[in-house]
Amino acid sequence: MAKKGSKAARAKRASEIVARLRTDYPQAGIVLDYGTDWELLVAVILSAQCTDKMVNLVTAKLFEKYRSIEDYASADPAEFETDIRPTGFFRNKTKHIIGAAQKVLADFGGEIPSSMAELLTLPGVARKTANIVLGNAHPQAYASDPDSGIAVDTHVNRLSRRLGLVSSENSDKIERELMEIVPREDWFQLTYLLIEHGRAVCDAKRPRCADCSLQDICPSAFRV
Q: How confident is the model at residue 2 (pLDDT cuts 50, 70, 90)?
A: low
State the average pLDDT over residues 52-70.
98
Q: How confident is the model at residue 222 (pLDDT cuts 50, 70, 90)?
A: low
Q: In this structure, which amino acid lies at residue 100? A: A
In the set 83, 128, 145, 186, the catalytic residue is: 128
State how far the alpha carbon of 87 is from the alpha carbons of 41, 83, 84, 136, in Å: 15, 9, 6, 22
pLDDT of residue 5: 81
- Number of neighbouring beta carbons within 10 Å of residue 60: 10
Q: How confident is the model at residue 224 (pLDDT cuts 50, 70, 90)?
A: very low
State the average pLDDT over residues 36-56.
97
172: part of which helix (H) or strand (E)? helix 171-181
Handedness of CA 150, 213, 52, 88 (dihedral sign): negative
Q: Is 153 a catalytic residue?
A: yes
pTM, entire model: 0.94
In the set 37, 83, 145, 153, the catalytic residue is: 153
Q: Is 107 a catalytic residue?
A: no
User: Which tens digits make up the pLDDT trace of 191-206?
Assistant: 999 999 999 999 999 9
Q: How confident is the model at residue 75 (pLDDT cuts 50, 70, 90)?
A: very high
What angle do helix axes 37-46 and 127-137 make, rounded to 10 degrees?
150
State how far the alpha carbon of 146 is from the alpha carbons of 46, 142, 167, 184, in Å: 27, 8, 24, 11
pLDDT of residue 3: 60
